Amino acid sequence: MKKLFFVFTALMAFATLTSAQADPVSWNFSAKKISDKVYDVYMTANLQPSWHIYSQTQSKDAIALPTEFNFTQNPLLTFAGKVKEVGKLEKFYDKVLKASANQYSKTVSFVQRVNLKANVKTTLAGMVEYQTCDDKKCLPPKKVPFKIPVG
């Protein structure tokens, strides 16, 4: 009986620690046809209240890890420009650390325009690496793989 109690207590402690470190960001990935063979690919971060994610572009004094997208090579796709950010950019300055950060709260969409080389169906695959923080702590950087149907 004591062993069962110990195992139950250990499992509950593990569950509490795991839920405390749960990712406060949920990602949605989609593509929208703009014109013949042209698509906007949306990588949208939805954040829990009081959490934020960092912009791809940070100032020189920033200590935040910028959000970064790495795309898998696909011979059927070409990229039109860089990933754009659509959301309400917040410029944060920490007086204690004397550092600034460009960040988003609630939601932000990262949009990449792609061109298909032919009228075919394919996928845009890759990985997003990002960090989230609230007013008290930052979680370790996380990588999320994605595959988005295009065409």
**CATH number of 124's domain:** 2.60.40.1250
| Contact present, 48 and 75 (Cβ < 8 Å) | no
For 102, the token pair is 């460009």
pLDDT band at 17 (very low <50, low <70, confident <90, very high): very low
Q: Bridge-partner residues for 32, per DSSP? A: 40
- Under the banding of pLDDT at 50, 70 and 90, the label for residue 18 is very low
Q: Does any domain span residue 143?
A: yes
* Contact in structure between 69 and 29 (CB atoms under 8 Å): no
Domain that holds residue 119: 24-150
The domain total for the chain is 1
- Tokens describing residue 13: 């402690």
Is 19 part of any domain?
Answer: no
3 inside domain: no
pLDDT, one tens digit per residue, over 52-87 is 999 999 988 888 899 999 999 999 999 999 999 999
Which tokens sit at 75?
């011979």
Query: Does 12 have pLDDT greater than 50?
Result: no
User: Does 7 reside within a domain?
Assistant: no
pLDDT bracket for residue 130 (50, 70, 90): very high
Of residues 44 and 64, which shows the higher confidence score? Answer: 44
Nearest CA to 54 out of 126, 142, 124 is that of 142
Is 95 contained in some domain? yes
> What span, in angstroms and rounded, lies between the C-alpha atoms of 34 and 29?
16
Angstrom distance (rounded) from CA 57 to CA 41: 19
